[in-house]
Amino acid sequence: MLKKIFYPVLLCSFISAPVLADLQKDMQVLANSVDVIESDSNVDSIRNALEKMKAAAISAKNEIPDSLLMKNSDSPEVNDYREGYDLLIGKVEKAQNLLSEGDLSGAKAIASEIKEIRNTWHEKYR
């Protein structure tokens, strides 16, 4: 009986460790990118930060946090988690468009919206 419980749990821990490391890396990229957008006024730096942020959000969308590991991949909770990344990616793309149009202050202003999305979804799924 113990083997039936122990081995699946052990297997999940080995599988989830690299995934969680990737998710943590993506979260760090997102946090660092928001800092750059808020503090830098160099268009190229902000453009680069937005590109990194979008790539990290796309990557993180395909990962599952600890709080959802036991859920089915098509569960409402997992779909909601992914919806948060869709919102985030949409904001990043909006900031990229504003930056392309020469609206640096508009692109920088979206950082607060991005942080709001991050805080809401952290509260739900961290």
Position 14 pLDDT exceeds 60:
no
pLDDT at 1: 53
**CA atoms of 88 and 84, how far apart (whole Å):** 6
DSSP 23-62: HHHHHHHHHHHHHHHHH---HHHHHHHHHHHHHHHHHHHT
pLDDT at 69: 87
The model's pLDDT over 93-117, given as tens digits with 9 standing for 90+, comes to: 999 999 999 999 999 999 999 999 9
* Domains contained in the chain, CATH given: 2-125 (1.20.120.10)
pLDDT at 107: 94
Q: Which residues contact 78 (CB under 8 A, 6 or more apart)?
A: 64, 68, 71, 72
- Lowest-pLDDT choice from 3-12, 20-29, 41-50, 78-87: 3-12
Position 126 pLDDT exceeds 60:
yes
The model's pLDDT over 17-66, given as tens digits with 9 standing for 90+, comes to: 444 568 899 989 999 999 999 999 999 999 999 999 999 999 999 998 88
Q: Are 56 and 30 spatial neighbours (Cβ–Cβ below 8 Å)?
A: yes
